[in-house]
């Protein structure tokens, strides 16, 4: 199953990349939502090989996932691979400069089931794909809006 969206942001590519790779901010946001996030390579710079263990409750069951930065190409984007039980996936963030002060952000998440239980989970997500995709697009649009507001406030 794949989800993807694209947003144009009124900010330079370097600034957008900096915000998209501000993993400490994303960790704090997840903690506020009740997700436990543990950086596995504490003290290392964020880049290829950075990894996290995440524990959360989804559909009433505790889940664990591990994520690792598989590709890191400043300021053009990065890719992270994740695994949770029988579910594997990849998140890709691509940034393209449209002009010196405008950047296109493309975000895609692809999930592949490796077990029967994961196949059932993906099937149930596919049934709710319209709603899931709408929420996904809204979250990315909110992020883009926050980046624009922060950049314009700094300028």
User: What's residue 153's pLDDT?
Assistant: 96
Question: How many angstroms separate the CA atoms of 99 and 13, rounded?
Answer: 9
Q: What is the pTM of this model?
A: 0.93
Q: What is the mean pLDDT of residues 90-104?
A: 98
Which domains can be identified in the chain, with CATH numbers? Answer: 2-154 (3.30.530.20)
User: What's residue 42's pLDDT?
Assistant: 84
Instruction: Give SS3 for 26.
Output: helix
Terminal Cα distance for the chain, rounded:
40
Residue 45 has pLDDT above 90, yes or no: no
Confidence of residue 43 (pLDDT cuts 50, 70, 90): confident
Q: What is the mean pLDDT of residues 103-108?
A: 99
Question: How many angstroms separate the CA atoms of 100 and 9, rounded?
Answer: 11
Q: What is the mean pLDDT of residues 16-28?
A: 96
Q: What are the residue ranges of helices labelled H in the chain?
A: 13-20, 23-32, 116-127, 129-154
């Amino acid at each position: 199953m794949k989800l993807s969206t694209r947003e144009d942001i009124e900010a330079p590519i370097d600034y957008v990349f900096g915000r998209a790779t501000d993993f400490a901010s994303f960790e704090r946001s997840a903690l506020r939502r009740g997700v436990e996030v543990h950086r596995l390579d504490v003290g290392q710079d964020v880049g290829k090989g950075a990894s996290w263990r995440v524990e959360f409750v989804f559909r009433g069951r505790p889940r664990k996932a591990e994520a690792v930065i598989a590709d890191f190409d400043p300021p053009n984007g990065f890719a992270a691979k994740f695994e949770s039980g029988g579910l594997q996936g990849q998140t890709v963030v691509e940034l393209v400069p449209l002009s010196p002060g405008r950047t296109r952000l493309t975000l895609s998440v692809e999930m592949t089931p490796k077990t029967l239980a994961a196949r059932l989970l993906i099937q149930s997500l596919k049934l709710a794909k319209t709603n899931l995709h709408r929420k996904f697009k809204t979250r990315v649009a909110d992020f883009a809006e926050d980046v624009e507001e922060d950049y314009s406030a700094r300028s």
